[in-house]
Structure 1
Amino acid sequence: MRNKKFVCILLLLVGCQNATKPQGLTVQVKQVTSGQTIEVVSKGKTMLVRLIGIDAPNMQQQPHGQVAKNSLAQVIANKQVILEFDEQKQDEFGRYLAYVWSDLLVNEYLVKQGVVLVAMKSPNHKYDTRLVRAQEWARLQEQGIWNAKQPMTLTPAEFRAQYR
């Protein structure tokens, strides 16, 4: 009986997911530069894009930085993706800020794999709930950086603060 309840709840949750294709700018991924930044091409123009809502380990935070970059590359390298923008379109460094869609919401996928942390930042909050739920799942499943045998000891923000 308990399994039937679980299946019913799972079906209800899946059934509530938005099945429509996201609206945004279709681009070609040219290069993955880190676990949270990609270089894309749209209409002959190259753009640097930072994924909204996540904070990836720095490349110097090994092995976690490289794992995050590889995980992102595995999902979207050399593919067409859709960039879905939120309220703030660019950051202080001129990078575009976007949710990246392939066959799935890539930002959420990286969080659920435990290779990046959720980093909510105003005014972009469209998928905060999804990202927080994915992080909780990764933490409970001890995925990636949440693995007790090889945890990430400093958050990316704490790591960067050491070098300011």
Structure 2
Amino acid sequence: MARRFVVGPLLLASVLIGAVACAGEPPTVIRVIDGDTLDVRVDGQDERIRLLNVDTPETKHPDKAVECLGPEATEFLQHLLPEGQVVELAFDTEKQDSYGRTLAGVFKDDVLVNAEIAREGLGVASYVAPNRRFLSEVEAAQAEAEEAGRGLFDEEIDCTVPGMIAATSTAISELPAEYPDDVEELESLIGEAAFAAGLAAALLASFDALEGAVDSPSWVIHEHKLKSARDEVGAQLETLQNWDDDVRERVAEIEEEQRLEHERRAAEEQAEAERQRLAQQEYERQVEAERQRAAQAERDRQAELQRQPQSPSHHAPAPQNPAPAPSNPSTGTSNRDNNGAPPGHVHKDAPTSYTGPRCFAPGGVYWRPCP
């Protein structure tokens, strides 16, 4: 009942200034265009109505992408104002905008639709001078949505400003206080931090654009909230950038440590390879020296054999144990061969292949193999 009491004087004032719809066929909804625009048939004529003092996310703008909760705002207005719904229109100082749309407050059963959209968190208060007739009611509805965390003020919705701030805060809280020693893990963390930093930078850019574009009582009322959010996001971005610098420095340290370790191992492997090469050379040198010693020994043996006297090929080898020759009883002397050698003896200068021990006869001229 309180709401009806407030709206009644507004409608009366609009009649007094000639800004209420003319008597006759009541305004009827034809279709909803988006969250803050609809077509209404008034006295048999179709008019495009732009809701005053409220702005919803874009869905049909030719130069903008579909914005966060834009489709939800359109769906909400479609549900609130279905085709054929009878409404009341109230106007302000300027009745049309630069696009030729009729600027109006739309009432359904004495409820200001403009404010209901803001109360749901699907639109925000907007002021374009000189029309401010419904601004205070829309701002009050927006404050309710902010307090309740609905729609554009819901930090559980990723695309909202509170949602992006919360996501950035969560991303920062999940970054480790101590850095791992694995470069791949660090680079993955850098990617996560970069994503959060991108969100923060996009938010700051949005705040900059809003500060440059807004010039209204609504801006004055909510300026402190925007600045507070901007300060928070700015601090988050600085934290992320500092963290990123620290992690990249740690990555550089690890990579330098790995480089030095690689060089140390390479030097050790090279030294070991050189040691093995020298050991192989020494082994081959020793093998060659031993081969040469063996070859020299064989040459010396062959030379020694060649220096020893050789027996004639037709000479029979001397018996191993020749029997002593019998004495000649008639002469009283030992038997000797024609050369004067005792039996079984050979002259010391006679060639022979015998290399064993020699037993010489008295006088040392003749010898025979020792028994």
TM, length-normalised to structure 2: 0.36
Aligned match of 2:75: 70
Q: How many residues were matched structurally? A: 144
Deviations 1:68-127 (A, max 9, x none): 011111111220101100001000000000000002000001000101111112111112
Cα distance in 2 for partners of 1:46, 1:19 equals: 25
| 2:94 aligned residue (77, 88, 93) | 88
Q: Which has the larger radius of gyration?
A: 2
- Give the 3 Å change call, closer, same or farther, for CA 17–57 of structure 1 in structure 2: same
Amino acid at match of 1:129: S
- Give the 3 Å change call, closer, same or farther, for CA 98–19 of structure 1 in structure 2: closer
Aligned match of 1:139: 146
Q: Which structure's relative contact order is higher, taking Cα pairs within 8 Å and 6+ residues apart?
A: 1
Cα RMSD after superposing both structures: 2.3
How far did 1:57 drift?
0.3
Aligned match of 1:5: none
Please list, as runs of the form range in 1=range in 2, the aligned pairs for 1:147-162 lying within 5 A after superposition.
147-150=154-157, 151-153=159-161
Cα distance in 1 for partners of 2:146, 2:32 equals: 25
Cα distance in 2 for partners of 1:134, 1:34 equals: 19
| 1:114 aligned residue (112, 116, 121) | 121
**Residue 92 of structure 1 aligns to a residue in which SS?**
coil
- Give the 3 Å change call, closer, same or farther, for CA 17–142 of structure 1 in structure 2: farther
- Give the 3 Å change call, closer, same or farther, for CA 108–19 of structure 1 in structure 2: closer
Deviations 1:1-54 (A, max 9, x none): xxxxxxxxxx9xx48952527352241100000000001111221111100001
Cα distance in 2 for partners of 1:147, 1:134 equals: 15
Greater than 6 Å deviation, 4+ residue runs:
none
Gaps of 5+ in 2: 60-65, 162-202, 211-371
Q: Which moved more, 1:96-105 or 1:120-129?
A: 120-129
Q: Which moved more, 1:26-35 or 1:123-132?
A: 123-132
Cα distance in 2 for partners of 1:137, 1:69 equals: 20
Cα distance in 2 for partners of 1:57, 1:133 equals: 19
Cα distance in 1 for partners of 2:37, 2:117 equals: 12
Gaps of 5+ in 1: 1-10, 160-164
Structure with the larger strand share: 1
Q: Which moved more, 1:121-130 or 1:145-154?
A: 145-154
How far did 1:58 drift?
0.9
- Give the 3 Å change call, closer, same or farther, for CA 34–15 of structure 1 in structure 2: closer
**Residue 27 of structure 2 aligns to a residue in which SS?**
strand
**Residue 86 of structure 1 aligns to a residue in which SS?**
coil
**Residue 124 of structure 1 aligns to a residue in which SS?**
coil
